[in-house]
Amino acid sequence: MQGRIDRPLRNARLAGVLLLGLLLLTGCATTPRLAESTAQALPRQAWVEDVPFHAQREYQCGPAALAMTLNHAGVDVPMETLIPQVFIPGREGSVQPEMLATVRRHGRIPFVLNDSFDALLTEIATGHPVVVLQNLSLPAWPMWHYAVAIGYDLDARELMLHSGEEAKRIESFRRFDATWARSDRWAFVALRPGELPSGIGEQRALQAIAAFEQVQGAEATLPAWVAFVERFPHSGMGYFALGNARHATGDLEGASEAFRSAVAQRDDLGVAWLNLGLTLQAQGNIGEARQALERAVALPGHWQAHATAALERLSSGD
């Protein structure tokens, strides 16, 4: 008698424990919310035209996602070329740093977006396909997956992705965000030098462009620095970088102009005074070169010794 009454109770308790465990395991998934301003500014539906679809072969969603986004950005590279460039056989997958590095090798700048749904949808609305990293499974048994987000519908609350073997897959915002949140909402766009993501922060953009320049050189990067100072006109480091890129391509006039803008924005940027002085000296403008170097020497910091040496060379008439 006793046992018969208890059984349903015990079952209910077991179910409760299981459910609780499940919730703890997964964290609570809720529908992502957009900031009010983003929701106002974005069109209700948007999708990126002309994103070619490459179906992944086993384990190779990384190269597939790269091929789709690079092709859309005007780089004619087949997935077969990308596999040996980004796939790690021992890990049976591709890792985030190398996804970004491979974009650089193909002459496009990878910008990692800030970890928000707003940034993701904004980029799609601007016409940029976005590579996202999802964990389609649970944290305990991860199933990491790269897909390319290409469209959304705010009213239906759905996202459109080229994913795995499926083109234009539709996923609800809620399910997508649950899987995307497990990668800390990692996403990037691959853009031509000269284009910037709409909501990108100054430091993030600066680092992304500088990393690209290290791989592709000053000439390829020049348009990106021009776009950068247009977007962030108060960035001393931006003008400094622009000056360096112009100098490296032989445009001394343009370089000294950019260095002047750099110190106009940040008078304490010793390294910009130093490069300004050296550039003016190379142009034969010794008087102003001396003034700039003296300013660099007066500023404490990493480059003070360099500046002192440069000023000494100028004075000794080398």
Partner 1 sequence: MKTLRRFLSPLLILALVLGSVSVSAAPLPTSELISTQAALSAERADADRERINEILSRAEVQEQLIAQGVDLAEVDARVAALSDEEARQMAEQLEQLPAGAGVVGALLVVFIVLLVTDILGLTNVFPFTR
Closest CB to partner 1 among residues 38, 288: 288
Residue 133 makes contact with partner 1 by CB under 8 A: yes
Closest CB to partner 1 among residues 34, 101: 101
Cα 160 from Cα 279, distance rounded (Å): 51
For strands 187-191 and 109-112, give the pairing.
Answer: antiparallel
Number of residues lying near partner 1 (CB under 8 A): 81
Residue 303 makes contact with partner 1 by CB under 8 A: yes
Residues 261-300 binding partner 1 (CB under 8 A) are 271, 274-275, 278-279, 281-282
CA dihedral angle for residue 43, residue 48, residue 49, residue 51, rounded to 10 degrees: -170
Cα 61 from Cα 54, distance rounded (Å): 9
Residue 120 makes contact with partner 1 by CB under 8 A: no
Cα 213 from Cα 245, distance rounded (Å): 9
Residues 153-182 binding partner 1 (CB under 8 A) are 164, 166, 171-172, 174-176, 178-179
Amino acid sitting at position 277: G
Residues 66-95 binding partner 1 (CB under 8 A) are 84-86, 88-95
Residues 9-48 binding partner 1 (CB under 8 A) are 22, 25-26, 29
Closest CB to partner 1 among residues 198, 203: 203
Residue 226 makes contact with partner 1 by CB under 8 A: no
CB 307 within 8 A of CB 270: yes
User: Cα separations (Å) of 184 from 4, 10, 147?
Assistant: 48, 38, 15
Closest CB to partner 1 among residues 41, 210: 210
